[in-house]
């Protein structure tokens, strides 16, 4: 009998995947990129944008450089394969733009999610290797 393949990480329940795999992998990737004071949290809160719904949604919040830079990745569907959003802000201000995030990806996996976050932060010219 062939051995049963363990389920893919991405098939784990949403919160388990986020807490046990995505957030730690993202933290490690930021450290590898030279950001050693990244503070990441996985929380269910309202979107911090003026005019946004007061409904709480899951999001990964990141800040570094003593809070100078902040980003949020939003998961309104509570599913890594569902809709995702991104916002970025500086100096403790609230973000002003909510962007679509990873909208063209048919397959979503841990490595792609981490890569897209780094790519998005890199677009702000904030990674050490820039």
Angle in degrees, CA 113, 30, 12, rounded to 5: 35
Length of the chain: 130
Which pLDDT score is estimated for 128?
A: 56
Region 10-30 average pLDDT: 95
How would you classify the pairing of strands 85-90 and 99-100? antiparallel
Q: Check whether 115 has a pLDDT greater than 80.
A: yes
Name every residue whose Cβ is closer than 8 Å to that of residue 40 and which is 6 or more positions away in sequence: 23, 26, 27, 30, 60, 61, 62
Name every residue whose Cβ is closer than 8 Å to that of residue 29 and which is 6 or more positions away in sequence: 114, 117, 118
Which position has the higher pLDDT, 22 or 130?
Answer: 22
DSSP per-residue codes, 25-64: HHHHHHHHTT--S-EEEEEEEE--STT--S-EEEEEEEEE
pLDDT tens-digit series, residues 77-110: 999 999 999 999 998 888 877 888 988 878 899 9
What DSSP designation does 97 have? -
Which position has the higher pLDDT, 54 or 1?
Answer: 54
DSSP 3-state percent helix, strand, coil across the chain (nearest 5): 25, 25, 50
Which position has the higher pLDDT, 19 or 50?
Answer: 19
pLDDT tens-digit series, residues 32-77: 998 989 999 999 998 877 777 788 999 999 999 998 999 999 999 9
């Amino acid at each position: 009998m062939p051995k049963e393949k363990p389920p893919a990480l991405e098939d784990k329940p949403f919160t388990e995947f986020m807490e046990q795999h995505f957030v730690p992998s993202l933290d490690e990737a930021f450290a590898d990129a030279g950001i050693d004071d990244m503070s990441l949290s996985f929380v269910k809160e309202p979107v911090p944008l003026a005019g946004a719904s007061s409904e709480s949604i899951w999001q990964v919040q990141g800040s570094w450089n003593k809070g100078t830079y902040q980003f949020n990745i939003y998961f309104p569907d509570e599913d890594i394969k569902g809709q995702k959003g991104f916002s970025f802000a500086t100096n403790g201000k609230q973000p002003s733009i909510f962007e679509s995030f990873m909208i063209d990806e048919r397959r979503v996996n841990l490595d792609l999610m981490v890569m897209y976050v780094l790519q998005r932060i890199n677009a702000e010219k904030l990674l050490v290797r820039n």
